Homo-oligomer: A and B are copies of this chain.
Amino acid sequence: MKKEILKRLKEAEGYVSGQELCDSLGVSRTAVWKAVRLLEEEGYRIQAVRNKGYRLSTDSDVLSVDELSQEICGSWAGKHLVVLKTVDSTNLEARRQAEDGAPHGTLVLAENQTAGKGRRGRFWESPEGTGIWMSLLLRPDFEPVHASMLTLLAAMAVVKGIRQATGLSCQIKWPNDIVLNGKKICGILTEMSTEEDCIRYVVVGIGINANLEGFPEELKEKGTSLLLESGKPVRRAKLAAAVLSVWEDYYEEFLKTLDFSSLMEEYNEHLVNRDRQVTVLAPGGAWQGISMGINREGELLVRRTDGTVEAVMSGEVSVRGVYGYV
């Protein structure tokens, strides 16, 4: 019933009278009142005014199963939801869920991560209730060799999802980061489990700095949030759902060829370090070149000063661009 009341409050323009809720749902006033209290506990801001009824504040920002399942409209991404108040890391939880047999498209989302993971085992700051910390479980039946491109797909989904939900235009810092006005707004971490040459599962973790109100001094130059850049808080459930929806589209497109032949043009349009000088930190030593964009295999093409072009894989190198964060 709580879910039904939430739906009515969302659909309504303005107030919904308590009596109307009682009548249409066939329950008592007390039952309605109790459900409203439960919604408030979940984080919804609900105004109750005598003789008018209840009204849902449009700035309510709740990440609950009810809220998310109402927003998520695709066919598989996020159909199975695991929403937690706190977790060590959503990637770890998604891997545990995967080992327990969770289906393709399972989404793990948490308000707080106590051991959020960045790339190469770095700690990822994930303050409570302000970001989108989520991991999508995929069970593709293609070969492991194609899986590194799933990170790039997720990056495209984040950029497009953010634009749809907020109007903000972010860019991709190949391969794992999304930046806004030159500062990091999102990181992506893809993990995989294989058996021989078959994928058992892939977990794509995404951390979006949505409503973070500030950063510690040492990160101020490197990171930002959607709230800080736009001045407006974002409804995280809506944003998460937008990302998942476009992700499904990109994924289906990718499956047709198992490469980026039809996606690389769009990807490269969003590439922050395109046509710019980058430093490639290869195992054999660092070298500089001009980043030209990705090829259909998802590798970054970098032109050396002698004119030769090298395809760089994400595992081999880190790429430092014009920005200080790496």
Instruction: Assess whether A148 is interfacial by the CB under 8 Å rule.
Output: yes
Q: How many copies does the complex hold?
A: 2
Minimum Cβ distance to chain B for residue A318 (Å): 11
What B residues does A127 contact at CB under 8 A?
none
Instruction: Give a binary string over A299-326; 1 marks a CB under 8 Å from any B CB, 0 the rest.
Output: 0000000000000011110000000000
Instruction: Give a binary string over A188-205; 1 marks a CB under 8 Å from any B CB, 0 the rest.
Output: 011111111110100000
What B residues does A195 contact at CB under 8 A?
119, 189-192
Bound state CA distance, A175 and B316, in angstroms?
28
Q: Are B193 and A189 in contact (CB under 8 A)?
A: no
Known: A190-B196, A196-B315, A197-B315. Contact between A145 and B143, CB under 8 A?
no
Q: How large is the interface on A (under 10, 10 to 19, 20 to 34, 35 or more residues)?
A: 20 to 34
Specify the chain B residue showing the minimal Cβ separation from A176: B196
A154-208 with Cβ < 8 A to chain B: 175-176, 189-198, 200
What B residues does A198 contact at CB under 8 A?
120, 315
Instruction: Assess whether A103 is interfacial by the CB under 8 Å rule.
Output: no
Bound state CA distance, A101 and B111, in angstroms?
27
What B residues does A120 contact at CB under 8 A?
198
Residue from the list B191, B196, B313 in contact with A193, Cβ < 8 A:
B191
What B residues does A191 contact at CB under 8 A?
193-196, 200
Q: Are B196 and A151 in contact (CB under 8 A)?
A: yes
Specify the chain B residue showing the minimal Cβ separation from A198: B315
Bound state CA distance, A176 and B148, in angstroms?
25
What B residues does A145 contact at CB under 8 A?
145
What B residues does A176 contact at CB under 8 A?
196
Minimum Cβ distance to chain B for residue A112 (Å): 22
Instruction: Assess whether A144 is interfacial by the CB under 8 Å rule.
Output: yes
Minimum Cβ distance to chain B for residue A257 (Å): 15
Bound state CA distance, A119 and B175, in angstroms?
33
Q: Are A313 and B143 in contact (CB under 8 A)?
A: yes
Minimum Cβ distance to chain B for residue A316 (Å): 7
Specify the chain B residue showing the minimal Cβ separation from A175: B196
Q: Are A314 and B197 in contact (CB under 8 A)?
A: yes
* A144, A193, A194, A314: most-surrounded residue (chain B CB, <10 A): A194
What B residues does A144 contact at CB under 8 A?
144, 192, 194, 315
Other A-B pairs, 8, CB within 8 Å; known A148-B197, A191-B195:
A143-B315, A143-B316, A144-B194, A147-B194, A151-B196, A192-B193, A197-B313, A197-B316
Q: Which 9 pairs across A and B sit closest by C-beta, in order of nearness? A: A197-B315, A192-B194, A143-B315, A191-B195, A197-B314, A193-B193, A148-B197, A190-B196, A198-B315
Q: List 6 A-B contacts (CB under 8 A).
A: A143-B315, A143-B316, A148-B197, A192-B193, A193-B193, A197-B316
